[in-house]
Amino acid sequence: MKALVCKQPGMVEYITIPDPAMKKDHAIIRIKRIGICGTDLHAFEGTQPYFTYPRILGHELAGELVDMDNAPGFSKGELVTIIPYFNCETCIACLRGKPNCCVNMKVCGVHVDGGMVEYLLVPSTSLVQSQGLSLDELALIEPLAIGAHGVRRAQVEEDEFVLVVGAGPIGLGTMEFARMAGGKVIALDINEQRLNYCREKLKIEYTLNAISPDVGSALLDITNGGMPTVVIDATGSLKAINNAFQYMAHSGRYVLVGLQKGDISFSHPEFHKREATLMSSRNATRQDFDLVIDSIKNGFIKPEAYITHRVGFNNVSNVFSEWLNPASRVIKAMVEFD
């Protein structure tokens, strides 16, 4: 079968590999959709910290269940997606109900080869039923679950101001779930087109351009002098992460959803006097996936609106690098398989 492999930073190409062989407690999926995410693009750039080359990319996926073992409730031929964080079930995190940060984590398309293939073998425990969702919706559950998990980590409360830094797909989902939790969302990005999307599509009331010299003053005005009590980074940009510490209110929480390779740095006195909380948010849990599915089914979120670009699997290598260019105006690129 054909697979798209990232051989080294800046290089993706098609190779031929054997079809997967069925294994105990596993399932085989015929891939129908793959969403391109920041992890894929960062891997292509060479800035993904958990990545080794060569690697077959892709974990935002939807497809048809071809075969399975030990998958009660599932039937051959049905549409599925997966929870692409393959955990060990025996480490301290797994035993404490936090499989999303498993000590021995194998993320599909990062630590192990991913879904840019015609057929993919996955653990049966990772399967998620479609519950009537479309292929596009199924492929978008995972990135939305990332945002849902970050908001749950932040414990957003009714009417508190939530600053979401980064208006890419993860940031957009974060904004939607923060608003569903009752937060007053402020979007911050350097890309005016994405800020327009926030205003027009998501109806976000407050949007700020990060390159403006008066972001701090604008946040003071919006929050009535208090600053946001929740700041969530969804950029993975070291500059953006370090810069946003100054925007956090006294008693605030700062959640890092975005990921990068470098060391973050901030003023300890400024952080300390706020009695601030800094936390990371890694991956998502089945609870978050269930929340996303319910939210889509009930019409609270319409993720297909995120899709700005579509491409056939056989043409991905020709356009992949273009999605790194802001001029492409891509929010979510969706790969379609024949």
Q: What is the CATH number of the domain that holds 201?
A: 3.40.50.720
Three-state secondary structure along the chain? Answer: CEEEEEEECCEEEEEECCCCCCCCCEEEEEEEEEEECHHHHHHHHCCCCCCCCCEECCCEEEEEEEEECCCCCCCCCCEEEECCEECCCCCHHHHCCCHHHCCCCEEECCCECCCCECEEEEEHHHEEECCCCCHHHHHHHHHHHHHHHHHHHHCCCCCCEEEEECCCHHHHHHHHHHHHCCCEEEEEECCHHHHHHHHHCCCCCEEEECCCCCHHHHHHHHCCCCCCCEEEECCCCHHHHHHHHHHCCCCCEEEECCCCCCCCCCCHHHHHHCCCEEEECCCCCHHHHHHHHHHHHCCCCCHHHHEEEEEEHHHHHHHHHHHHCHHHCCCEEEEECC
Task: Kindly tell me if the per-residue pLDDT of 39 is higher than 90.
Answer: no
Task: Kindly tell me if the per-residue pLDDT of 140 is higher than 90.
Answer: yes
270, part of any domain = yes
For residues 270-291, average pLDDT: 97
215, part of any domain = yes
287, part of any domain = no
Task: Kindly tell me if the per-residue pLDDT of 326 is higher than 90.
Answer: no
Binned at pLDDT 50, 70 and 90, residue 226 comes out as very high
pLDDT digits (tens, 9 = 90+) for 99-129: 999 999 999 999 999 999 999 999 999 999 9
Query: What is the residue range of 186's domain?
Result: 147-280
Radius of gyration of the chain (CA): 20
Same domain, 205 and 324: no
216, part of any domain = yes
The partner residues of 31 in beta bridges, in order of sequence, read 63
Binned at pLDDT 50, 70 and 90, residue 3 comes out as very high
296, part of any domain = no
Number of domains observed in the structure of the chain: 2
Same domain, 93 and 153: no
Same domain, 6 and 109: yes
Same domain, 313 and 272: no
Q: What is the CATH number of the domain that holds 67?
A: 3.90.180.10
33, part of any domain = yes
Same domain, 262 and 307: no
**How many whole angstroms from its chain centre is CA 59?**
10
Same domain, 263 and 162: yes
pLDDT for res 245: 97
For residues 60 and 121, the answer to whether their CB atoms sit within 8 Å is: no
Same domain, 37 and 107: yes
pLDDT for res 230: 98
pLDDT for res 83: 98
292, part of any domain = no
Same domain, 97 and 66: yes
285, part of any domain = no
